[in-house]
Structure 1
Amino acid sequence: MQIAVALVSLFSLLSLISADVVTRFEDVPECMEYFYRGMVPKWGAATPDVARICQRFVNRYHFATLYDTHHRIAVYSAYHFQPSNGGGREKRWFVEPQLVNSSWQAGMKDSYWLGKDHPGVYQGERQALNEDYTHSGFNRGHLNPNGHHAVPSRNATFTLTNVVPQNAKLNQNAWRMYEAELTDLFRAKCSKAYVLVGAVPSSDKWIGKNQTKRVNVPDYLWNAYCCVDNNSRPVQSGGGSARNTEDNWVERHSLDELVEFLQQFTNEPVGELFYNNCI
């Protein structure tokens, strides 16, 4: 009887370890490490057809993404900052196999090789594909930025479930400089920095292909961070938001201000973005 129980427990553990698209982030302890004190924000949880992805690359988890399969953009990605250890930009763009078929392998994969494994299967029903962005006029804008990570987490940010159509001027100028500003802050002030980066979908702007709405172009991008010391006590917090336009400007916010900003886009209570508002 004890052996049977042990085997059931082992199989349950293995099923969790192999999980990638999950019912709840709380079901995968490694995935919960990207949320300060294990608190998953309420923001976006009521989004229809949302998927929770524990982002796996080279058989490890690297960050977590709440993904809107209708708009085919991320609601947010949650991560903690890592000082870069060098390494160039990943040349591949990955997709999430389990958004095509829940029984497929756990872990992001190059769309080309996924197609070789499963010939003739359309991969883009519930997620954006690299071809959607080609000649679209928009950048593949990272939410969780590759520059906030060491390899291999740096490579893992190049999944299309972590990007949104971003205005090129914003992506390459003000938003890039804001990410660099955060890098300096996190290095100087934080033992660990917990970060959320998200997008607010638009009501009527899409990347289209063959007269089909494929990928929503968000109206806004936003960022929130919680810096802690060696004892996991908060030392600094804040955030920013930017119109996804040629305006090329990032507005700085306190966490309270950012919650007020997000509240205007939903009838659901936004709630705290970090445990105890990072106080």
Structure 2
Amino acid sequence: MQVLAALCFLVLAHLPLLRGEVVGSFQDIPQCLDFFYEGKVPEWGAATPGAARLCQRFQNRYHFATLYDTLHRIAVYSAYRFQTGNDPTRNDWCIEPQLVDRSWNAGMEEEKDLITEHKGVYFGERQALEEDYINSNYDRGHLNPKQHQSGDSRQATFTLTNVVPQTPNLNQKAWVTYEHQLTKLFIAQCAQAYVLVGAIPSNNTWIGERVNIPDYIWNAYCCLDNNGRPIGSGGATVRNTGGTRVKRHTLSELKLLLGQYTKSPVEELFHNNCEA
């Protein structure tokens, strides 16, 4: 019996911790680091007041990672690996239960289901809710876009912790066009692509004094060959004011711009700046 108990202890000691989506560090969940090239999490954004680190979990699997600003109730960025597919989605929006209570379910859930489970509890203290976007004249603009994912990962993008308010003209025209251009680039040239997409909050523009309307949307990517070696990188920025022109940048240019916008120095967005 003692031998059996000792064996059980050893097995349990080497199992990964069964922790929820809201983590103290992305390093707490090894699977979460898979969405960052070589496991390198950007230091930029880490000091955001009220930041929450979300290992986005759906159907008992992790699909991407999000650094979430609970004070502005928008994502700082989402990090993901590109996939391609045309799987159907239900467009049912989820929220993060553990931003309400850390003891709740570790996976994203639809708000209507949480209402049934937790009557009388307000869910929006630290995150945006569907009611914030209704009649707001702003779209729920994906950072990790559905067209860059497949299977359950595609459905997992429909969480309000992965969106920011975008003007319809930007979300439905200029930015989605840029996302489609990236899709073609990744399919044609990359064996694998790591992507970061984020938002720069505005100083004083809000939806109902609850959800910040960002000034800029930005994107950065790192393209790898079949041997996992970097072969290309780039990024883009666009104003979130009905912007029709997405400006493309090198990673070096993008880092300078992010530093200027946020008055915070930017070191590496990707391991070794996505250089071989």
TM-score of the superposed pair, with normalisation by structure 2: 0.95
CA contact (8 A) 2:200 2:262 kept: no
1:10 matched to which residue of 2?
12
2:71 matched to which residue of 1?
70
> Structure 1 residue 150 and structure 2 residue 150: aligned?
yes
1:164 matched to which residue of 2?
164
Distance 1:8 1:47 in 2: 38
Shift of residue 27 of structure 1?
A: 1.0
Shift of residue 7 of structure 1?
A: 3.1
RMSD: 1.6
Letter in 2 for 1:109: E
Distance 1:258 1:80 in 2: 20
Partner of 2:124, secondary structure, is coil
Distance 2:14 2:99 in 1: 22
Distance 1:12 1:112 in 2: 37
1:3-152 alignment runs, 5 A limit: 3=5, 6-7=8-9, 10=12, 13=15, 16-84=17-85, 86-152=86-152
Q: Say if 1:12 and 1:206 are closer, same or farther in 2 by CA, change over 3 A.
A: farther
Letter in 2 for 1:114: L
Q: Say if 1:12 and 1:138 are closer, same or farther in 2 by CA, change over 3 A.
A: farther
Shift of residue 18 of structure 1?
A: 3.4
Shift of residue 42 of structure 1?
A: 1.1
Q: Say if 1:103 and 1:231 are closer, same or farther in 2 by CA, change over 3 A.
A: same
CA contact (8 A) 2:98 2:105 kept: yes
Partner of 2:262, secondary structure, is coil
Distance 2:14 2:24 in 1: 15
> Structure 1 residue 272 and structure 2 residue 268: aligned?
yes
Equivalent in 251, 255, 269 of residue 259 of structure 1: 255
CA displacement 1:82-119 (0-9 Å, x = unmatched): 011x2233331000000000010100000000111111
Point out where structure 1 has 5 or more consecutive residues left out of the alignment: none
Shift of residue 8 of structure 1?
A: 7.6
Residues matched between the structures, number = 273
Partner of 1:47, secondary structure, is coil
1:226 matched to which residue of 2?
222
Q: Say if 1:116 and 1:229 are closer, same or farther in 2 by CA, change over 3 A.
A: same
Q: Say if 1:246 and 1:13 are closer, same or farther in 2 by CA, change over 3 A.
A: same
Distance 1:99 1:246 in 2: 31
CA contact (8 A) 2:20 2:98 kept: no
Distance 1:203 1:267 in 2: 13
Shift of residue 267 of structure 1?
A: 3.6
> Structure 1 residue 217 and structure 2 residue 213: aligned?
yes
Distance 1:266 1:87 in 2: 37
Shift of residue 10 of structure 1?
A: 2.0
> Percent of pairs identical after alignment?
59
CA displacement 1:43-93 (0-9 Å, x = unmatched): 210001100000000000000000000000000000000011x22333310
Q: Say if 1:115 and 1:12 are closer, same or farther in 2 by CA, change over 3 A.
A: farther
Distance 1:79 1:243 in 2: 22
Point out where structure 2 has 5 or more consecutive residues left out of the alignment: none
1:173 matched to which residue of 2?
173
Distance 1:123 1:9 in 2: 37
Shift of residue 260 of structure 1?
A: 0.4
Stretches of 4+ aligned residues off by more than 6 angstroms: none
